[in-house]
């Protein structure tokens, strides 16, 4: 089954890609690959790949900025989903579209059912509601609207990252205590999406979050406590509760946005309590993600063996072209290690480098790859210099420069203007 996922640069999109079952053929699209607000680009992409299912995780999620950029928010959150639904209909694909608790006004005192009246308080919510309606209008029998709430992940711009950053820098934060919802890990949403994909009879609007209820203050306290236990924060970090009025923002937020998930739990979906999932995400956030070039060479392979022995919780992606010094047998003892991924490729392959940096969310590059035909240079130095030096020097330079360009693009993408 071929699955096309948009917005893979965002939290949910990345989690969907990371959690993909082995049997699916995945087409992962960032905004650079396909701008969902471009009707022709969407149609072309879908016609090219002809997926069985499209997962739309792309969205304009800058809630406060949307108040001053309503047209841009509308194009991405309303027009984009419509184009995807129309394109899905043309190729007979199913569409799973991610939406939000912000379609509700927060006046309820009980969890919102999927069929509850939607009365959004801000531009973001209005445009997301419009996107829902557009999808269901264009593809009523073969679309799923999956609303979720308070999403966070180990990386990217979200409440978890903001709390960790401020608690590390100042040791104290003041957090709203009178807005109630359910913190939800992006991984939890992704798991629900894959279950929906496996159940083609599911259609219409549904809700999914982690289990339990909390205020933003409760979540901040839990972050501080759990992070301190993992050694990510000082135990002396303090969290002070405040009222919404003490933290003014451009966009109004619903005071209560707990979602009723029974339409899916009745089908066997099992939620995890938000604090349990938070602990898991924080444990993963302490994991480093390394790209090791030339990792099958003599020095690189020794580094890989050492690192996996000393830092088994970290993720290692080894890239090696397996030419001359590279020998896959040098990694035989660790090939089955769950933290290791081997990719045969060249450091001069810039698209591959950028893909690995994006997909694996690499935070460190260890660069061993190099042109190293030492024996040949000794045997025929004049011929080697004339025939090889310029070509290999340029390759090495372009490879190193490609790594640097890819790294720059990766770091820049961590602060995107638009999510996905």
Question: The domain that contains 280 carries what CATH number?
Answer: 3.40.50.720
Spell out where 195-304 has E strands.
Answer: 204-207, 214-215, 238-242, 289-293
> Residue 15: what pLDDT?
92
Tell whether 273 is covered by a domain: yes
208 and 89 inside one domain:
yes
- For the record, the structure tokens of 318 come out as 């080894």
Q: pLDDT, tens digit, for every residue of 111-123?
A: 999 999 999 999 9
> Residue 384: what pLDDT?
46
169 and 59 inside one domain:
yes
Q: Are 243 and 176 in contact (CB under 8 A)?
A: yes
Alpha-helical regions (H) of 216-273: 216-229, 262-265
Cα atoms in the 13 Å half-sphere on the side-chain side of 245: 0
Long-range contacts of 275-280 (CB under 8 A, 24+ apart): 275/212, 275/222, 275/226, 277/183, 277/184, 277/185, 277/187, 277/188, 277/210, 278/160, 278/183, 278/185, 278/219, 278/222, 278/223, 278/226, 279/226, 280/185, 280/187
281 and 293 inside one domain:
no
> Residue 347: what pLDDT?
85
- For the record, the structure tokens of 262 come out as 């029974």
Q: Which of 250, 285, 320 is the last residue of a domain?
A: 285
| Of the candidates 247, 192, 254, 251, the residue with the CA atom closest to the CA atom of residue 220 | 247
Q: Which of 265, 285, 305 is the last residue of a domain?
A: 285
247 and 135 inside one domain:
yes
Q: Are 202 and 266 in contact (CB under 8 A)?
A: no
Q: Are 268 and 206 in contact (CB under 8 A)?
A: no
Top pLDDT among 94 and 409 is at 94
- The answer to whether the pTM exceeds 0.85 is no
Q: Which residues form the domain of 41?
A: 2-285
309 and 260 inside one domain:
no
Burial of 49 (0-12, 13-18, 19+ CB in 10 A): middle
Measured CA to CA, the distance from residue 11 to residue 29 in angstroms comes to 13
Measured CA to CA, the distance from residue 417 to residue 420 in angstroms comes to 9
Tell whether 419 is covered by a domain: no
Tell whether 392 is covered by a domain: yes
| Of the candidates 329, 349, 285, the residue with the CA atom closest to the CA atom of residue 153 | 285
Catalytic residues, by residue number, are: 124
Q: pLDDT, tens digit, for every residue of 243-302?
A: 999 998 999 999 999 999 999 999 999 999 999 999 999 987 766 789 999 988 889 999
């Amino acid at each position: 089954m071929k699955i096309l996922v948009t917005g893979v640069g965002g939290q949910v999109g990345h989690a969907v890609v990371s959690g993909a079952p082995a049997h699916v053929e995945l087409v992962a699209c960032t905004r650079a690959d396909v701008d969902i607000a471009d009707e022709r680009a969407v149609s072309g992409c879908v016609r090219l790949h002809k997926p069985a299912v499209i997962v739309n995780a792309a969205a304009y999620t800058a809630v406060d900025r949307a108040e001053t950029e309503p047209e841009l928010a509308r194009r991405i959150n309303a027009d984009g989903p419509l184009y995807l639904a129309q394109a899905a209909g043309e190729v007979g694909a199913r569409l799973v579209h991610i939406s939000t608790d912000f379609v509700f006004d927060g006046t309820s005192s009980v969890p919102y059912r999927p069929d509850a009246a939607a009365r959004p308080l801000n531009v973001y919510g209005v445009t997301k509601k419009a996107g829902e309606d557009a999808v269901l209008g264009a593809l009523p029998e073969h679309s799923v609207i999956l609303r979720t709430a308070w999403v966070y992940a180990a990386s990217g711009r979200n409440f978890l990252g903001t709390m960790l950053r401020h608690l590390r820098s100042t040791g104290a934060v003041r957090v709203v205590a009178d807005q109630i919802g359910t913190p939800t890990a992006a991984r939890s949403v992704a798991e629900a999406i894959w279950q929906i994909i496996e159940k083609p009879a599911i259609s219409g609007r549904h809700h999914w979050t982690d289990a339990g209820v909390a205020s933003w203050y409760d979540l901040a306290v839990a972050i501080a406590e759990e992070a301190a236990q993992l050694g990510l924060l000082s135990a002396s970090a303090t969290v002070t509760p405040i009222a919404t009025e003490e933290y003014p923002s451009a966009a109004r937020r619903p005071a209560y946005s707990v979602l009723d998930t029974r339409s899916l739990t009745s089908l066997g979906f099992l939620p995890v309590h938000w604090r349990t999932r938070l602990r898991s995400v924080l444990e993963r956030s302490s994991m480093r993600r390394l790209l090791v070039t030339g990792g099958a060479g003599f020095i690189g392979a020794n580094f890989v063996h050492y690192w996996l022995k000393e830092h088994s919780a970290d993720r290692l992606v080894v890239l090696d072209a397996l030419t001359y010094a590279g020998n896959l047998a040098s990694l035989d003892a660790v090939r089955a290690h769950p933290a290791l991924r081997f990719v045969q490729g060249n450091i001069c392959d810039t698209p591959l480098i950028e893909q690995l940096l994006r997909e694996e969310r690499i935070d460190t590059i260890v660069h061993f790859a190099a042109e190293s035909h030492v024996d040949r240079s000794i045997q025929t130095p004049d011929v080697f210099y004339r025939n090889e030096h310029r070509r290999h020097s340029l390759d090495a330079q372009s490879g190193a420069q490609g790594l640097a360009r890819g790294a720059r693009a990766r770091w820049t993408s961590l602060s995107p203007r638009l999510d996905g």
